[in-house]
């Protein structure tokens, strides 16, 4: 079970460079992992599309004049994904829809990450009644399944027309318990390490130990969980749009899929293309997270 | 053990009140005008306003309102929908459908998930294993509403194998396609979990012992490996069954099944606030009870786990 992590220097061969850390090991593994490169490229591509949609589509879906004469026209040269019921170019809508998905994913992950970091770090470090109190908070939020909670949240906030923010708030405020639990257990593991004792003997205060010594060593597993969570958030955002409580007045894959489903008997292409992009994006984040987790967790090798 | 159960029960009560309080507070406090939030975008008449104010005790302080609501909830008085129908009636009618759908989906997940997972785990690295890994990953990455609409289009629409929406005269058969969609995520996760578990246990010491004792492969796999591999799988399935029975919002919505999830789906679309809050509270209760039962069962299944 407990194999030495640094194998290269066995036999007393003096290495010219410093011994490889766990992070170096993980990176060494990742560089050779095909899945990591494929998933990573898709993520980069989606981010580029979300940031600069005009580079990918000649038609600006937000201002496009959709003509009902084009309604449900099948894919053809120049309009590879065809047209939807309103006669809008499906490709342009898919490209411009990436932004709301990406923004919701990133902002809600950042919010969930900050909350999880605080709760996990403080609960794991101090233990005792503080930890017990925070653990009950985690229980309460976990008792509300993500989709159900997000529906109620988003619906309650939806009366004010504020774009993606109700959904971001809903996902962020409901999504933090799982990463917080991961963070808490890795903080507890790090707290017992010798370097923490050493820092304490040298006179470091709680705040310094937490931020300078424990945080950098305990954050990796949480980041991995957050990567996977980002994929989940994008899926939930689309599901909320599909249910009609998603972001309003923005182009979104979920809304387009819901709309296309109503006219499914006429043509399937307005449904299949946004669905494909959505699945690809969610999948990319899950695979990326899995690849990084495998690299960081030597037990899975 | 009994001390553990009592402690878990106390925690559960706390969680239930905390969670339902959040839901309640969101529905009634976040909006500027809770009555209008309840009624959605429809105009609201003075008599409706008076009736709702009375029903939810909106003229009382907030905590008292929540107290009244919870008292009603726990004594079986679930209130009325916006249209005035008793919510208890709606749910009693919807419940059997969700139960049938959920149990059918659960059966799919168990039979195909465990079956496929065992085969993949035994032939680790083979083509079947690779196929299972790729396919289950695809399913896990596909949001269920995408899978549902695509399956509905292909299998019900174009191939004509199933009806595209709920047809009560068909009996259990009408739940077949929705159950496949609903089961897909649990099935994929079960399969991966079983596969990993079986593959790991095949290398365990007790398996080597069993083989060297001269037991047949069938007995080694069927009794020794399987029994030990299924512990994590059963735990997972236990928490999933609550989701399958109660949480089928999207699936029931797509296939128009008037179960609990389908009612919630409609209630969201019709902006029926009271129904949304009640169903969500009820589902929270189901999830909490399901996870408590699983935790207790876990100790019974795996003698290595002992709660003080």
Across chain A, which has 301 residues, the per-10-residue mean pLDDT values are 45 54 75 85 89 78 70 70 74 84 91 93 88 86 81 72 80 90 88 86 86 83 85 87 78 81 76 86 85 68 47
How many domains are contained in chain A?
1
Residue B304 burial (CB count, 10 A) = 7
Q: How far apart are CA A13 and CA A27, in angstroms?
A: 23
The whole-model pTM stands at 0.80
Pairwise CA distance, residues A121 & B99, whole Å:
41
A274, part of any domain? yes
Interval A48-59: pLDDT, tens: 888 887 777 777
B188/chain A closest Cα distance in angstroms: 14
User: The tokens 């808490």 sit on which residue?
Assistant: A184
Task: Give me the residue from A140, A157, A238 closest to B30, CB to CB.
Answer: A157
Which CATH number fits the domain that encloses residue A135?
1.10.3720.10
CA distance linking residue B114 with residue B20, whole number of Å: 35
Instruction: State the Cα–Cα distance between residues B267 and A208, nearest whole angstrom.
Output: 51
C-beta of residue A104 within 8 angstroms of C-beta of residue A252: no
Comparing alpha-carbon positions, the chain A residue that sits nearest to B20 is A144
Residues 116-145 of B with CB under 8 A from A: 137-138, 140-145
Which of B143, B149, B287 is facing A271, going by the closest CB pair? Answer: B149
Nearest alpha carbon to residue B247 among B293, B286, B207: B286
Short-list B112, B278, B261, CA closest to B178: B261
HSE toward the beta carbon, residue A175, CA cutoff 13 A: 32
* pLDDT, tens digit, 9 for 90 and up, residues A226-237: 888 888 888 888
CA distance A216 to A206: 15
Measured between CB atoms, which of B31, B142, B152 is closest to A159?
B31
Q: Which two tokens stand for residue A161?
A: 């027309």
B245's CB contacts (< 8 A; 6+ apart) are B98, B99, B101, B102, B103, B106, B286
Residues 195-254, chain A, touching B (beta carbon < 8 A): 231, 235, 238-239, 242-245, 254
Q: Do A239 and B144 touch (CB under 8 A)?
A: yes
- Closest CB to B149: pick one of A145, A151, A257: A257
- A156 vs B143: CB contact, 8 Å cut-off? no
| Domain membership flag for residue A73 | no
Domain for residue A78, yes or no? no
Looking at the DSSP bridge assignments, the partners of residue A1 are: none
Each residue's pLDDT, cut to its tens digit, for chain B (308 residues) gives 677 788 888 888 888 888 888 887 777 665 556 566 556 566 677 777 777 777 667 667 777 878 887 888 788 777 777 677 788 888 888 888 888 888 899 899 889 998 998 888 888 878 888 888 888 888 888 888 888 888 888 887 777 787 777 777 777 777 888 898 988 888 988 898 888 888 888 888 888 888 888 888 888 888 888 888 887 787 777 777 777 776 688 888 888 888 888 888 788 777 677 787 788 888 888 888 877 887 777 766 666 666 55
B305 touches A at CB < 8 Å: no
Which tokens in the block code for residue B183?
Answer: 């089961």
Res B5: pLDDT:
80
* Cα–Cα distance measured from residue A289 to residue A30, given in angstroms and rounded to the nearest whole number: 11
pLDDT, position A108: 93
For B241-260, give one letter per residue: b (16+ CB within 10 A) or e: bbbbbbbbbbbbbbbebbbb
**Does residue A48 lie in a domain region?**
yes
Distance CA B68, CA B62 (A): 10
| C-alpha pair distances (Å), B172 with each of B109, B148, B156, B162, B259 | 17, 18, 16, 12, 14
A82: helix, strand or coil: coil
B247 and A238 within 8 Å at the Cβ level: the answer is no
Q: Is the ipTM of this complex over 0.90?
A: no
Cβ A255 vs Cβ A243: under 8 Å? no
- C-alpha distances (whole Å) from A286 to each of A177, A293, B192 are 18, 10, 15
Q: Which of B41, B56, B252, B287 is nearest to A245 (CA)?
A: B41
**Residue B250 Ramachandran class (φ > 0 left, ψ -120 to 50 alpha, else beta):** alpha
* DSSP-assigned letter for residue B174: G
**Residue A243 counted as domain residue:** yes
Q: Is A76 helix (H, G, I), strand (E, B) or coil?
A: strand
- The token duo for B10 is 């106390």
H-assigned helices in B203-225: 205-212, 217-219
Residue of B249, B258, B252, B257 lying closest to B276 (CA atoms): B249
Supply the Cα-derived Rg of chain B in whole angstroms: 23
Residues of A in contact with B26 (CB under 8 A): 152-153, 156
- Looking at CA atoms only, how far is residue A62 from chain B in angstroms? 24
- Tell me the C-alpha distance between B209 and B174, whole Å: 49
| Residue A1, in any domain of the structure | no
For residue range A116-154, list pLDDT tens digits in order.
999 999 998 888 888 888 888 888 888 777 888 888 777
Share of chain A above pLDDT 90, in %: 8
Contacts of residue B93, defined as CB under 8 A and 6 or more positions apart, other chains included, come to B258
Domain enclosing residue A139, as ranges: 42-58+83-300
C-alpha B58/C-alpha B68 separation (Å) is 10
Question: Residue A182: exposed, middle, or buried by beta-carbon count in 10 A (0-12, 13-18, 19+)?
Answer: buried
CA-CA distance, B201 to A211, in Å (whole number)? Answer: 40
78-117 in chain B: CB under 8 A from chain A: none
């Amino acid at each position: 079970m407990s194999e030495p992590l640094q194998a290269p220097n066995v036999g007393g061969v003096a290495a010219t460079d410093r011994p490889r850390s766990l992070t170096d090991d993980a990176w060494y593994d990742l560089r050779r992992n095909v899945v990591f490169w494929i998933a990573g490229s898709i993520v980069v591509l989606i981010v580029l599309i979300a940031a600069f949609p005009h580079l990918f589509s000649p038609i600006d879906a937000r201002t496009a004049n959709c003509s009902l004469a084009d309604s449900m026209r099948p894919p053809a040269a120049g309009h590879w994904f065809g047209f939807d019921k309103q006669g809008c170019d499906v490709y342009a809508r898919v490209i411009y829809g990436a932004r709301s998905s990406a923004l919701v994913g990133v902002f809600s992950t950042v919010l969930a990450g900050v909350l999880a970091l605080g709760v996990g770090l403080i609960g794991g470090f101090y233990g005792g009644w503080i930890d017990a109190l925070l653990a009950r908070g985690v229980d309460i939020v976990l008792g509300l399944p993500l989709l159900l909670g997000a529906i109620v949240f988003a619906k309650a906030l939806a009366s004010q027309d504020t774009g993606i923010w109700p959904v971001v708030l809903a996902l962020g405020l409901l999504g933090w318990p799982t990463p917080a639990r991961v963070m808490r257990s890795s903080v507890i593991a790090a707290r017992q390490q010798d370097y923490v004792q050493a820092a304490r003997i040298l006179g470091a205060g709680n705040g310094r130990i937490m931020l300078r010594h424990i945080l950098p060593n305990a954050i990796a597993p949480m980041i991995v969980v957050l990567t996977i969570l980002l994929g989940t958030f994008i899926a939930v955002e689309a599901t909320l749009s599909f249910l009609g409580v998603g972001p309003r007045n923005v182009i979104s894959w979920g809304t387009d899929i819901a709309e296309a489903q109503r006219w499914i008997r006429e043509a399937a292409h307005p449904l299949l293309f946004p669905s494909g992009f959505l699945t690809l994006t969610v999948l990319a984040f899950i695979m990326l997270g899995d690849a990084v987790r495998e690299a960081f967790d030597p037990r899975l090798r | 053990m009994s001390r553990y159960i009592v402690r878990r029960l106390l925690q559960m009560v706390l969680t239930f009140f905390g969670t339902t309080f959040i839901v309640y507070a969101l529905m009634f406090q976040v909006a500027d005008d809770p009555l209008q939030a309840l009624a959605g975008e429809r105009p609201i008449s003075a008599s409706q306003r008076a009736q709702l104010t009375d029903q939810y005790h909106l003229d009382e302080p907030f905590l008292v309102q929540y107290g009244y609501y919870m008292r009603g909830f726990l004594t079986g008085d679930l209130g009325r929908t916006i249209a005035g129908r008793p919510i208890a009636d709606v749910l009693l009618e919807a419940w059997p459908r969700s139960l049938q759908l959920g149990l059918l989906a659960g059966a799919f997940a168990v039979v195909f998930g465990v079956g496929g997972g065992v085969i993949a785990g035994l032939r680790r690295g083979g083509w079947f294993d690779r196929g299972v890994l790729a396919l289950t990953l695809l399913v896990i990455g596909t949001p269920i509403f995408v899978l549902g609409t695509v399956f509905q289009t292909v299998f019900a629409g174009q191939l004509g194998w199933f009806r595209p929406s709920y047809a009560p005269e068909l009996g259990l058969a009408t739940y077949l396609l929705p159950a496949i969609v609903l089961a897909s995520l649990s099935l994929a996760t079960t399969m991966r979990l079983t596969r990993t578990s079986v593959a790991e246990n095949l290398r365990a010491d007790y398996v080597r012992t069993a083989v060297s004792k001269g037991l047949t492969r069938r007995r080694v796999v069927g009794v020794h490996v399987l029994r030990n591999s299924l512990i994590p799988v059963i735990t997972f399935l236990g928490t999933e069954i609550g989701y399958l029975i109660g949480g089928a919002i999207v699936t029931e919505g797509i296939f128009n099944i008037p179960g609990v999830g389908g009612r919630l789906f409609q209630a969201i679309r019709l902006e029926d606030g009271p129904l949304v809050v009640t169903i969500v509270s009820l589902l929270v209760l189901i999830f909490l009870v399901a996870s408590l039962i699983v935790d207790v069962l876990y100790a019974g299944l795996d003698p290595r786990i002992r709660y003080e």
